[in-house]
């Protein structure tokens, strides 16, 4: 049996190899989609989107629905942030945006068949809690008026909150509205790090919010941390984790900071001389992994950790884990509808993205048009490679013969180059072949999932610019 097995109930543990990290730590996609958004083109438009939705509705048993709602507003600028956002303290700006957002939701509600259940909802941003709770309540109700909301206890209705602007009463209202999960950014509790990234927040208040969310029945709280920020040290990050472990949030995500100031203007405010070196970043990550696994967290995949009784771990074990633009998810095989400025949809064998400019987004809807800016209809090759990459990312195992099922292809010949290019990774014990066309990722290899998936990425093989992507670790 492979040491990567989860199907038998054996959960993954940490097996961090610093020397291998140094060797494989190049740049590459995070594979929240395949193909990645870099491949989207303006050739995909609203007419094509309607065609793929109609095809999706016509399935004998249509997939359930997921809905992502983008709220772009933030009252303060975080220097590290690469999200699509609008910095403003003017709450009135949200009023006009919500009017258009309601319109877009209504349009999608009319296109999708009534029998398709909405099992997953996520409000992201930006800062969704920039909105007043009565605005969030009306938005939630409007979604319910246009889609059939799942009543299953396993439904996943989540919202990102800013601990700096949310209080106990706000959490109570969000739970009453119908949200089942919350996610919050922490990044680091060290005061000097917070000041350097322009995101100062009280650790005591943040921890109190987590504890209260648990007390009032939220199924989970996710906490986002970032390593590689200015002035960070392994000792300081360990302290942050110790503070969080005192309240044991159900999920933790530890992202690598990608310093790309040429692409993201706010990052130009970060002092590069204060960024930790590669060795210190590895020390931070290695320490964090050891700390979390010793505390009973399971390394779900990539940068995600969860307590053993969390639904993410259950999905990992039963093979239903899914990866999308928000990271790992428990609802496999659902069509994802993205609404709001810059939001991305994944419906059938297609991706589409709304315009990234707020004024253009609003103008399109005022003119009676869907705000689609770009997208992609997947080719047969895209579909095959997507299957392989998704299986590797979510199950850490792929049977190439099964991935090609339904297509007139032979795995050994179709992926001949890829199988050959995997041999060095096999020699480094990042993967193992349990049969000629079955690949399993080892415990050691779990930290290099992006490297393994990159071998199957035909767009990277064409020498696309890797500077668009972050470091693997």
pLDDT in tens, 78-91: 999 988 899 999 99
Q: State the DSSP code for 451.
A: H
pLDDT grade for 5, boundaries at 50, 70 and 90:
very low
Residue range 238-295, pLDDT digits in tens: 999 999 999 999 999 999 998 989 989 999 999 999 999 988 998 999 899 999 999 9
3-state secondary structure of 164: coil
Taking all residues of the chain, what is their mean pLDDT, rounded to a whole number? 91
Q: At what angle do helices 203-215 and 234-245 cross, to 10 degrees?
A: 30
- At residue 211, the pLDDT reads 98
Residue range 151-173, pLDDT digits in tens: 988 789 999 999 998 999 999 99
Question: What's the whole-model pTM score?
Answer: 0.92
- At residue 464, the pLDDT reads 53
7 pLDDT more than 50: no
* Residue 169: CB atoms within 10 Å: 10
- At residue 2, the pLDDT reads 38
Which ranges of 60-132 would DSSP assign to H, the alpha helix?
A: 93-111
H-run or E-run covering 307 = strand 304-307
pLDDT grade for 3, boundaries at 50, 70 and 90:
very low
- Give the chain's domains with CATH numbers: 19-24+379-463 (1.10.10.920), 30-339 (3.80.30.20)
Tokens of 8: 């038998």
- At residue 27, the pLDDT reads 81
Residue range 133-149, pLDDT digits in tens: 999 999 999 999 999 99
Contacts of 389 (CB under 8 A, 6+ apart): 31, 34, 453, 456, 457
Contacts of 309 (CB under 8 A, 6+ apart): none
Residue range 27-44, pLDDT digits in tens: 888 898 999 999 999 999
């Amino acid at each position: 049996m492979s040491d990567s097995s989860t199907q038998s109930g054996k959960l993954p543990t940490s097996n961090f190899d610093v020397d291998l990290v140094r060797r494989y730590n190049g740049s590459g996609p995070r594979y929240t989609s395949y193909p990645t958004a870099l491949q989207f083109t303006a050739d995909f438009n609203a007419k094509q989107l309607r065609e793929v939705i109609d095809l999706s509705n016509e399935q004998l048993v249509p997939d359930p629905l997921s809905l992502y709602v983008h709220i772009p507003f933030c009252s303060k600028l975080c220097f590290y942030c690469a999200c699509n956002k609008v910095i403003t303290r003017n709450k009135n700006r949200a009023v006009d945006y919500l009017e258009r957002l309601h319109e877009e939701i209504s349009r999608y509600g009319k296109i999708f068949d009534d029998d398709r259940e909405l099992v997953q909802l996520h409000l992201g941003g930006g800062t969704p809690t920039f909105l007043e709770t009565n605005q969030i309540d009306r938005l939630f109700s409007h979604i319910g008026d246009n889609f059939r909301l799942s009543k299953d206890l396993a439904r996943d209705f989540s919202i990102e909150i800013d601990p700096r602007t949310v209080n106990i009463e706000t959490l109570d209202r969000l739970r009453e509205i119908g949200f089942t999960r919350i996610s919050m950014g922490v990044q680091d509790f060290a005061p000097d790090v917070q000041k350097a990234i322009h995101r100062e927040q009280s650790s005591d208040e943040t921890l109190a919010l987590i504890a209260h969310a648990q007390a009032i029945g939220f199924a989970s709280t996710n906490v986002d941390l970032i390593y590689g920020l200015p002035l960070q040290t392994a000792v300081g990050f360990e302290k942050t984790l110790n503070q969080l472990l005192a309240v044991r949030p159900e999920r933790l995500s530890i992202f690598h900071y990608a310093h790309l100031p040429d692409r993201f203007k706010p990052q130009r405010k970060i002092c590069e001389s204060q960024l930790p070196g590669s060795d210190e970043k590895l020390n931070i990550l290695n320490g964090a992994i050891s700390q979390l696994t010793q505390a009973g967290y399971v390394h779900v995949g990539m940068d995600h950790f969860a307590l053993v009784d969390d639904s993410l771990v259950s999905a990992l074990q039963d093979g239903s884990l899914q990866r999308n633009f928000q990271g790992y998810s428990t609802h496999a095989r659902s069509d994802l509808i993205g609404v709001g400025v810059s939001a991305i949809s994944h419906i059938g064998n297609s991706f589409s993205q709304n315009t990234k400019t707020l004024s253009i987004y609003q103008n399109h809807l005022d003119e009676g048009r869907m705000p689609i800016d770009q997208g992609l209809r997947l080719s047969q090759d895209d579909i095959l490679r997507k299957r392989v990459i998704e299986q590797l990312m979510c199950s850490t195992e792929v049977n190439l013969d099964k991935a090609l099922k339904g297509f007139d292809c032979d795995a050994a010949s179709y992926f001949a180059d890829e199988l050959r290019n995997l041999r060095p990774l096999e020699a480094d014990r990042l993967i193992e072949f349990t049969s000629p066309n079955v690949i399993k990722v080892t415990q050691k290899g779990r930290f290099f999932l992006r490297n393994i998936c990159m071998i199957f990425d035909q767009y990277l093989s064409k020498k696309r610019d890797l500077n668009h992507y972050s470091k693997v670790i």
